[in-house]
């Protein structure tokens, strides 16, 4: 692929999306034009980033170069959106803008960027290690060729799913918020091991390996969670004793409610 990609905001998420494209030479560093807010950040990236991309800061004259790239990635915090002023691209081509901002709707994006066809992409933090999940919603009239191009950008670091925009909130809850809940579960299990007398580090290592093994077994053997649960639950055994406590404490219901809460919160941003 060869095109100029403009990147507005080059923080954690933008780096996680762009770096594998450069590492795998899907894009060349001279094809990337980034703008960040501060001169300090700009200097820091110039000095420390592993690829020699074009980078400028918002009040510099070079920042306009971003707007001439036909494809742009918008990766700032939602509250920083008010500081972005769309410049009309002078490239004489159709222009596309992909936003990874949580909760900013396609309608709102189209209002702010009337000279672009907008796309929403919800991605999650494991893209940092190439294990992300990305949900994409297209605004109308995006052609198939551009859809493939945009999907390719995220496929370097994640599995890509296409959704009607209505589903992006629950997608975000399940894929972006739930990792924090999983981290909490890991922490809680490790504390359980610690409470039983295991050293903290060993306890955490056991929990991580146990979760990895469980996930891979359910995934690779294609067994249902119900079947899996039955395989490890024997009559009057330890597992049913543990499960009984969780049932009594409303554990499953609490997890369902947590996803609902994150989904509703995401809807409020729109
Ligand atoms: N973190 C997550 O887990 C996650 C997951 C999925 C999606 N997201 C979404 O990804 C977006 C970015 O998150 P992040 O964690 O990467 O944020 P971040 O690390 O804070 O990066 C924000 C970037 O935006 C730049 N910026 C701010 N105002 C700007 C302006 N007026 N013009 C140009 N650049 C500007 C910042 O530059 P300076 O450094 O100079 O301030 C920085 O490079 C968010 O909208 C978030 O909803 C985050």
pLDDT (tens digit, 9 = 90+) per residue, 26-39?
999 999 999 999 99
User: Could you tell me if the CB of 24 is within 6 A of ligand 1?
Assistant: no
User: Could you tell me if the CB of 10 is within 6 A of ligand 1?
Assistant: yes
CATH 2.60.120.380 fits 5-163, yes or no: no
* Residue of 11, 33, 83, 178 with the most ligand 1 atoms within 8 Å of its CB, for mutation: 11
Span 171-269 CATH architecture: Orthogonal Bundle (1.10)
- Cβ-contact 170, 264 below 8 angstroms: no
Atom of ligand 1 nearest to the CA of 103: 47
Tell me the percentage of the chain whose pLDDT exceeds 90.
92
Structure confidence at residue 1 as a pLDDT band (50, 70, 90): low
The yes-or-no verdict on residue 58 having pLDDT over 60 is: yes
- Cβ-contact 31, 2 below 8 angstroms: yes
Structure confidence at residue 2 as a pLDDT band (50, 70, 90): low
Any idea which of 65-69, 85-89, 165-169 has the lowest mean pLDDT? 85-89
User: Could you tell me if the CB of 224 is within 6 A of ligand 1?
Assistant: no
Which segments of the chain belong to CATH 3.40.50.720? 5-163
Structure confidence at residue 193 as a pLDDT band (50, 70, 90): very high
Q: What is the pTM of this model?
A: 0.91
Summarised one tens digit per residue, pLDDT across range 118-169 is 999 999 999 999 999 999 999 878 999 999 999 999 999 999 999 999 999 9
Q: What is the mean pLDDT of the chain?
A: 95
Mean pLDDT, range 89-102, rounded to an integer: 92
Summarised one tens digit per residue, pLDDT across range 209-261 is 999 999 999 999 999 999 999 999 999 999 999 999 999 999 999 999 999 99
Which segments of the chain belong to CATH 1.10.3730.10? 171-269
The reported pLDDT for the residue numbered 89 is 87
User: Could you tell me if the CB of 178 is within 6 A of ligand 1?
Assistant: no
């Amino acid at each position: 692929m060869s095109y100029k990609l403009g990147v507005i905001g080059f923080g954690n998420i933008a780096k996680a999306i762009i770096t594998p494209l450069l590492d795998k030479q899907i894009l060349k560093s001279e094809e990337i034009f980034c703008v960040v807010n501060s001169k300090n950040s700009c200097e820091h990236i110039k000095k420390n980033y592993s690829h020699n991309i074009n980078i400028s800061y918002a009040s510099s004259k070079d920042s306009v170069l971003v707007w001439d790239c036909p494809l742009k990635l918008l990766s700032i915090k939602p509250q920083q959106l008010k500081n972005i002023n769309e410049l009309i691209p002078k490239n004489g081509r159709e222009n596309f803008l992909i936003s990874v901002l949580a909760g900013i709707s396609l309608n709102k994006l189209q209002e702010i960027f009337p000279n672009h066809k907008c796309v929403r992409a919800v991605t999650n933090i494991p893209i940092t290690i190439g294990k992300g999940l990305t949900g994409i919603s297209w605004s109308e009239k995006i052609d198939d060729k551009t859809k493939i191009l945009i999907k390719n950008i995220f496929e370097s670091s994640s599995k890509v799913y296409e959704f009607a925009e209505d589903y992006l909130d629950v997608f975000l809850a399940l894929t972006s918020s739930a990792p924090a809940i999983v981290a909490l579960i890991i922490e809680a299990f490790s504390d359980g091991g610690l409470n039983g007398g295991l050293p903290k580090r060993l306890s955490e290592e056991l929990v991580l390996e146990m979760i990895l093994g469980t996930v891979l077994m359910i995934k690779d053997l294609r067994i249902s969670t119900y079947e899996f649960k039955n395989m490890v639950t024997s009559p009057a055994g330890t597992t049913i004793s543990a499960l009984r406590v969780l049932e009594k404490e409303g554990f499953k219901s609490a997890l369902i409610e947590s996803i609902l809460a994150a989904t509703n919160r995401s809807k409020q941003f729109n």
